[in-house]
Amino acid sequence: MVSEKIFGGLVVVAVCVVLLAAGCEPAAQETVKPEVEVEERAWEAAAEEAVAAITEEPVEPEVEEEEVVAEAVEEEVVEEVIEEAVEEEVEAVEEAPEAAAGEAATLALKFTPGDVASYRLVTDSERSVKWEGALPSKSGFKSDRRQSKLEMTFTQEILSVDEAGNAVAKLTVDALKYLVTVKDKTQVDFDSTRITDPEGEFAKMLGHSFTIEIAPTGEVTKVIDAEDIRTSVRRARRVPRRALAFLRPEPLMRRHSIPALPVGEKKQFRAGETYSDIKSFSFGLMGSKAYEKIFTVKDIKETDGRQVALVEMNAIPTAEKARELYEKETTHDFSEEFDRTDTYSGQLKMDLTAGTIEECFEEMQISWTRVLQSEEQPEQGPAVLTMGESRAYSLKRID
């Protein structure tokens, strides 16, 4: 019976992990909030009660900052062991046999007022939960998959550049595809190549613009003006909940930032040299994880009169932000009850002569697996519960 209680708790966790955040953008702070935000809050409350009741392991409420810090200090010994292991992995990567060679090249964006370029941006996030094997007789569990995929083609025009090299850029939406599926059922399927409702919220984005500030590191530092596109969206036939959430400053900045350029003071690198950055992810009830993204300049060569750099990225788990992530946790981390496998890699192709991105992509995949043997039906063998999450990003110049 104990294993059945554990199974029940794991099933609740699995369902809640999928339902809590299926790749949806934060809610719009305009007139009406999306239904998805209300649903997520309801599921979160239900999840905590269910986990406490079935697993007999209550989900801990938020505590004061001093108490969290005190608990974190008790884990310092464990963190030090993890840090030592990570340091050894990093040293192994940094001590690659291929030595740096050739002239140093600057890995930073260059902007010139009046420059115009077209890009295709794709972001894709997916969460799934799958059960293989015999289910307990009283279980109503079903496998689930949720996906949110965006494909946007836009024109970028540089309006001005300041002394620090930061640019004011105007982005105009030329084409758009947006797909949202929940439990393998399509909730949103917009494609600007086959518009069925010209007055729909996403159709109203086409041909309209917003203005952002971009740093030489590729980071979008602020949204300067998005009234043109937001005003158009507000005129949609129905209340544009999803589109307005889509156009909030935080999602716009995150979506249009380039995650592959060096953020430190050093900008010049030779083939064979490396640089790194830290990226953290939150996986809801499965906790948070930080990765050190290690970028290696694989090649710098002349192509059609242009100097082009190829950079590859491979990430490894790191404990560098372990304390910070621990202090932000408000629920029990159920990932400890699962075996985890993960991969996180990417690539950057950059025109160093023009200081522009030709292509950049990253993909992170993680899965949690738990094998259980039912005491009620031992003759049916073990069963496997697998939860997975993937996040992908790509940007490609197309003109």
SS (H, E, C) 74-105: HCHHHHHHHHHHHHHHHHHHHCCCCCCEEEEE
Q: Are 217 and 259 in contact (CB under 8 A)?
A: no
pLDDT for residue 376: 64
pLDDT at position 77: 39
* Type of residue numbered 81: V
Query: Which pLDDT score is estimated for 137?
Result: 54
Cβ neighbours, 10 Å, residue 375:
12
Q: Which domain holds residue 230?
A: 2-397
Nearest to 182 by CA among 369, 38, 24, 13: 24
**pLDDT value for 139:** 56
Inter-residue contact 244 to 268 (CB < 8 Å): no
CA–centroid distance for 239 within its chain: 27
pTM: 0.74
* pLDDT of 280: 86
Which of 205, 230, 214, 108 has its CA nearest to residue 153?
Answer: 205
CB contact set of 324 (below 8 Å; sequence gap of 6+): none
Mean pLDDT by 10 residues, the chain (399 residues): 50 48 40 40 39 41 40 42 47 44 87 98 93 64 85 98 97 97 90 93 97 98 97 92 93 96 94 94 82 96 92 91 55 74 96 97 94 70 86 96
Most distant CA atoms of the chain, gap in Å = 73
Q: Into how many domains does the chain fold?
A: 1
pLDDT number for residue 64: 41
Residue 284, Ramachandran bin (φ over 0: left; ψ between -120 and 50: alpha; else beta): left
pLDDT in the model for residue 79: 47
Give the pLDDT of residue 150: 97
